[in-house]
Structure 1
Amino acid sequence: MMYGSVWIPDWPVTAAELAEEVPAHTAAAVCAGRGVLATNSWARAAGIRVGMGRRAAHAACPEATLLSPDRERDASRFEPVLRALDRHIARITVMEPGTVIFAARGAIRSAGSPQLLAEAIVGEVADVAGCESYVGFGEGTLATLLAARTGTVLQPGASLPFIVNQPVKTLLMPFSTAQARSDVNQCLELLRKLGIVTVGEVRELGAPALSSRFGRIGLTLWQLASGNDAPLEVTGRSPAQFTCSRSFEPPLHTTDSAAFAAKELAGELGEEMTARNLGGGRLTISAALENGNQYERSWLIEGGGVRDVVDRVRWQLGSWIASDEEGSDIIRLELLMSDLQVSGQRPDTLWGGRTVGDEQASRSAARMQALLGEESVHLAEKMGGRTPREEFAERSWSEAPSRATAASLPWPGAVPHPAPTIVFPDPHHIDLVGYCGHSLIVTGDGMLACSDGCTGEIRPARMLEEHVSQPINDFAGPWIIEQRWWDPGRSRRAYLQTVSESVAALIYREDEAWYVEGLYA
């Protein structure tokens, strides 16, 4: 799918300039504990670079204004830019203040071409925020975000070659929350220590290797490196979504009151998500204003928690209340968390938890039961036993799983694995014939023998079922299973595995007759 992305370089400094915290046309930089995070062009001309320490930045340019990070300022000053983009794009998703991504096909069709759409967006952003912006188009999340860094339009089929030679650190770009970036960065640091330095090399590792070591994060990294839309699966509708809404009387008219409302509603949303072991996805904030206007904005929260939800709701409400429109007080607020992802995606577990696909399958099975009855959907449950028929049992989908511990017991003397992929409800009666031409039996000491007393090497040659002869190329066994000899309903069995040109089967002899219990794939 073709996506577009808008990127405003060094947005934290631009937001501070729009908030009049920095004098115009002077060097400025945003610094945190780990060093310089963003600079403007005057600071870069003076020698300040992203990543250098605060002292080094001050030494390079003593007159530069060094600011602390303020995510609320970044988000509130970004809202006018988003409204400007709404004039050209029907639906956008905010990765973080300064970066948005959107499905581009409709917008390109309306504008006439990607180049014309990019020109319109760049001009709109310049008029609203007075800053430079870049627009890029591509197939796949990572390619689109990278294309926006250089204002590139990637033609269909060009996205994967574009990203394979990029440094591995670019895989951090689609992740917006601090926790998600920290978890992903741990994975990338380990890959760099192993000599993986490009996106193409990550792709060559393959999905099984990455997912077995890093869980769902590893699978997401492989999808990104393969030019797919892994973190933007939220563009589709997932089976799980939660809504919290509230009306306000009197209306919210200050940022502080909006922050309190945001914390309360987001707390309710977070409790529901935590109870279901879900976290991250698409947060849609909808507000009705006193003047009759309706606002809606979507934020992507990749692997975030309740704190991330609260922050984004507070930023968004603050920017709406601070608008210059008459009657911008908020009378109703609704939060919709959709396309939810499973919590616990850190790399300290190998295979993660329930996936969105698992959740969708569960909902589908429950729907089928509601339509067709409780016994319409069954699944196999491991129970433990020595034969394939005893090892698994069926239960209704809605029935609670058995708490029996027999499945974890060793079961010595069981039929060797692998188990048949198909086990017949009623075993098929057959006849096993040896190379001597006579039917075979199993002796008391567990050996194959001819029913007619032939001597020499006894091997099964053919399996007869309803006058159909199936030649046997190889076999294994027999294995004797004699359980509960005191039970009249139990008989001694001898199992064999047979292989022919077209099928492999598990057969057994019981009460002077041969049966097929199951088939192997």
Structure 2
Amino acid sequence: MRPDAPVRSLVLWLPDWPVTALTRDGADPPSADRPIAVMANNTVVACSAAARAEGVRRGQRRRDAQSRCPGLLVAPADPAQEQRAFAPVVALIEDRAPGVQILRPGLCAMRARGPARFYGGEAEAARMLQAVLYELELADVRAGVADGPFTAEQAARVGTSAAEPVCVVPTGGAAGFLAPLPVTFLGDGVEPELLARLGVQTLGAFAAMEPDRVRERFGDRGMRLHALAGGRDSQPVQPRVPPPELHREVAFEPPLELAEQVAFGMRIAAEEFIAGLGAVDLVCTELRVELLGDQGERSERVWLHPGSFDAAAVVDRVRWQLAEDAQRRILRSGVSLARISPEAVDAASHHVPAIFGAGTDERVHHALSRVQAMLGHRGVVTPAIGGGRWLAERQVLVPWGDRAVLAKERARPWPGSLPDPLPATVFPVPAAVEVVDAEGDSVAVGDRDALTAVPAVLHEGGRQRAIVAWAGPWPVIERAWDAVRSRRAHRFQVVDADGAAWLLVCERGEWAAEGRYD
């Protein structure tokens, strides 16, 4: 056999995998019986059987698809979701036939020789793998076996049906099988319009062209596709290297009721978890902790770390999660299973201690982490700026080590919020003040958002401060549709004779100082 001769390959194809991934992944996935279309660039890339029955097809524009099926559920393509949903499928296949190459989510290939010899034939091996995937409730699985992955893929796509989901192309029969297929099956390497002007419509006609002419017109890429069209697929199957099993889990029998018991039972698993990451030169920066109750309850959370987790920090997160779950009554029975897995990892070389000892930041980190371990998750907090209209609610205290994921909150419109620069001093409870005019009468805001008089004096903390400049009012209106919780106030900025600037709020005739510009 020539070294570049095609190798017998087995391809498994799951039609409309983007739709399948959508219905199998997420907290509230849609039903597979609904008409669903997955879109990319405003074009249908996959659709469900119910949508296909209504006339929806791949390649349609969104407007055309919705005109054929008004009740169509449209979802954007999500490659990460498709890959995530396909991972357990590949893992199950590798349990029965190792050496799997993922061509794309929903399509994988392997060498056919090993499974065929073990299971008694190529067709038998393909049917066995289909039966394995049926256990995952994947009803439509197509298989193709041929010389080379390309021909095997086309066999799975065009040579199978729901009634006969396996197509085996005999050895040496790849060219004859591919000959009647259109040249569009080659993908984007060769322009179909150019081949049509040359009178080439099928793979067989393209394979019959002289190689020198193909090289002149299409270059090396064209020569590769010319070999594929003739059934000479020299591309070998390149099995993936399965990722290492980095997660750890502990089953408790009988289930444990006390958080300290669960934390103690996780110590060895935490040490093995950190050691396993260290064996592949990684550290964990985000940790996923999953806890299962004896009655089916489930608690899941991702914990962050300002540096990287060690075994003690992992155990602390398990204990803290149990404490928070007890307060919110998420787990109402004993813990039967605890699982820890890395949500995000980093190279261990990025977390090596400095040559000349720990710096100030590292010493602060260790000190705060030790205090937090003694006081609990919320025992040490750091300030961050969140979203909102009022200054007090924009001050958010984040537990040490957690990342303040507040950018989305800050990016909201928040009409009526105060633009930068913000006051340096914010009163947790607005301080009561009084604003009067030159005659000593109280100043208020009228119905048309206009002041009843010019502010002249600010009474604050028993002191009278002459107002030399002021600006406003700026209305802040919240929940105008709710008669009980509605709020209407006006903000002012004033500068007193001492040069101090104040942010004042007038609400229902009452004045208060919200902050001070120091």
**TM-score, normalised by the number of residues in structure 2:** 0.45
- With a CA cutoff of 8 Å and minimum separation of 6, indicate the structure with the bigger relative contact order: 1
**TM-score, normalised by the number of residues in structure 1:** 0.44
